[in-house]
């Protein structure tokens, strides 16, 4: 089994998505730019497993520094994770991915950003609970 982790940023009210993007995407303020830079610093050299939207969001200049593996709903989580035994795997999210993979994540790195605007996707605190299925 790999070392399974996740990094995410959430708004002040738990916002994580809006129309398939981060709700604050493109915000030039320093804390938002630093959050993106921190994500790429920490995932370099590792595996990013995510759904198609998140995989497409990784800029071309960062792809060379990580292994990107696109998740699909028909994939068995344990078989999929086993492909990367001994590696650090970051589970990139969105609710459909975290609903399936949260129980395998041993470390969450969560950044609270000063955003309190609209969203259509929210962080679910239940993802943080170890349900004994690891």
SS3 55: helix
Question: Which pLDDT score is estimated for 108?
Answer: 96
Domain layout of the chain by residue ranges: 3-16+28-114
Q: How many whole angstroms separate alpha carbon 68 and alpha carbon 71? A: 10
Edge to edge, the sheet with strand 67-70 lists 67-70, 47-50, 88-91, 3-10, 107-112
The two most distant CA atoms of the chain are separated, in Å, by 40
- Estimate to the nearest angstrom the gap between the alpha carbon of 37 and the chain centroid: 14
Place of tokens 């239940």: 126
| Contact between 133 and 31 (Cβ < 8 Å) | no
Predicted local distance difference test score (pLDDT) of residue 129: 86
Q: What are phi and psi of 72, to 5 degrees?
A: -130, 155
User: What residue has token string 């050299």?
Assistant: 45
The pair of structure tokens assigned to 19 is 């129309």
- For residue 108, CA distances in Å to 4, 19, 59, 101, 102 come to 9, 24, 23, 12, 9
Q: What pTM did the predictor assign? A: 0.92
Q: What is the pLDDT of residue 130?
A: 62
Query: What are the angstrom distances between the C-alpha of 68 and each of 4, 21, 47?
Result: 14, 18, 6
Residue 25's pLDDT is: 94
User: What CATH code would you report for 3-16+28-114?
Assistant: 3.40.430.10
Q: List, run by run, the mean pLDDT of 10-residue segments along the chain (134 residues).
A: 96 96 95 96 97 93 96 96 98 93 96 97 91 50
Please give the pLDDT value at position 93: 81
């Amino acid at each position: 089994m790999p070392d399974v982790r996740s990094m995410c940023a959430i708004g002040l009210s738990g916002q994580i998505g809006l129309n398939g993007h981060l709700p604050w995407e493109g915000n030039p303020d320093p804390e938002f730019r630093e959050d993106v830079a921190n994500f790429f610093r920490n995932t370099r050299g590792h595996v990013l497993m995510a759904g198609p939207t998140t995989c497409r969001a990784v800029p071309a200049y960062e792809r060379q520094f990580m292994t990107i593996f696109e998740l699909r709903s028909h994939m068995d989580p344990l078989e999929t994770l086993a492909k990367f035994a001994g590696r650090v795997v970051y589970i990139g999210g969105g609710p459909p991915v975290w609903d399936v993979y949260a129980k395998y994540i041993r470390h969450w790195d969560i950044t609270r950003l000063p955003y309190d605007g609209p969203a259509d996707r929210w962080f679910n605190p239940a993802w943080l609970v170890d349900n004994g299925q690891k």
